[in-house]
Amino acid sequence: MGKLYFHYSTMNAGKSTMLLQAAYNYLERGMLVYLLTAKLDQRAGDAKIASRIGLSMDAQTFEAETNIYDQLSEAYSKDGDDKAPFACVFVDEAQFLSKEQVWQLARFVDEYNVPVMCYGLRVDFRGELFPGSSTLLALADELREATMVVRRAEDGTAAKE
């Protein structure tokens, strides 16, 4: 059953790492996923979701004017299409979604019965909600606060002990 999920936290809490691990779990079981990230986030390069511990995957991007419902609908296979259907949508940097784009994601969940997992910040540096996060907090079927924080060793690698 499709649901809209919002995994939120503060900076440096490992959201992208959790997203990539969840996406990998789907892929490992032979299911396709659709990865989506904000075009303006170029830290890992264009159309990439990456974690600070070195994991990365290619993704599609969205901008302020993107109609995400249309983007997902066009990519999703319907009966008779030659495309394979994806089992889950993962959205990184969800705080950059507009209110309208969150509603588009909710519509996609309802009409296609595909879960959408959004990962992002809840508030900005002033403690104010991002518009996308605010709408996700209102509409998401499930909310999960990410509490993992990566600790770095002196050489910059992720500390494992």
Active site residues: 93
Structure tokens at 52: 């600070």
User: What Å distances lie between residue 86 and 36, 56, 62, 73, 111, CA to CA?
Assistant: 13, 19, 18, 11, 14
Dihedral pair phi/psi, residue 104, rounded to 5°: -65, -40
Distance of CA 123 to the CA centre of its chain: 16
- How long is the chain? 161
